[in-house]
Amino acid sequence: MLIVVGGESQNIDISKEIIDNFFGKNDIYNIGTLLFSGGEPTLNGKMLEYIVDKIIEKEITVGMFMFGINGLFYSEELVSGLNKLKDYILLKSNRRRCCPGLLMVSQDQFHKQADNEVIEKLKCLSYFSPIDKHKMREEDILPYGRAYENGLSKQQLDLSKLSKKL
């Protein structure tokens, strides 16, 4: 398993214009795994709902979703959007699956302890998977970005992996 540790936190939200522009400029018919991580999605649950509405409007097939949060905040909009996405995946696939998605809480040495009240609210979701507090192994952290700058990885920096050779 390879893990990249993200950059510095920023107070920036995605806008409807950016989402509309993305869906308008790209012909997307199928998404194998829709993955959200980085930043804190619970702080802008309305945009998740907006993205899900765009996926449904464009009738894009989604295989599954994976969603990472820090567990510090609860968002009705985010849960509503994830429930809508779960129902859409099940409807579009024409079969019942045990798990069309996964909501995970980051519980490693780089995140604060999750709020117990938030975890209790999330436990009722069929796709919620609590992850026990753990420490990431240095061997699993890629040596790029903030992980490289902070010396968190034991791996050697190899910039050739970041660019496509022609």
Q: Which residue has the higher pLDDT, 127 or 10?
A: 127
Q: Which residue has the higher pLDDT, 165 or 138?
A: 138
Cβ–Cβ under 8 Å, residues 3 and 136? yes
10 pLDDT above the threshold of 50: yes
Average pLDDT, the chain: 78
Beta-bridge partner residues of 102 = 66
Question: Which tokens belong to 156?
Answer: 């050697």
Confidence of residue 119 (pLDDT cuts 50, 70, 90): confident
Quick one: what percent of the chain has pLDDT higher than 70?
64
Residue 135 is predicted with a pLDDT of 64
| Top-confidence residue, 60 or 14 | 60
CA atoms of 120 and 91, how far apart (whole Å):
28
Q: Are 46 and 91 in contact (CB under 8 A)?
A: no
Residue 156 has pLDDT above 80, yes or no: no
Between CA 52 and CA 81 the distance in angstroms is: 7
Contact by Cβ (8 Å): 158, 2: no
Region 96-124: mean pLDDT is 76
Distance CA 39, CA 116 (A): 20
Q: In angstroms, what is the C-alpha Rg of the chain?
A: 17
Q: Tell me the mean pLDDT in the region 133-142.
A: 65
Cross-strand partners of 36: 67
Confidence bin at 132 (pLDDT 50/70/90)? low
Q: pLDDT tens across 53-82, in order? A: 999 999 999 998 988 887 778 889 989 999
pLDDT (0 to 100) of residue 39: 63
List the single range of 1-15, 46-60, 104-118 with lowest mean pLDDT: 1-15
Nearest alpha-carbon partner for 143 in 121, 161, 131 = 161
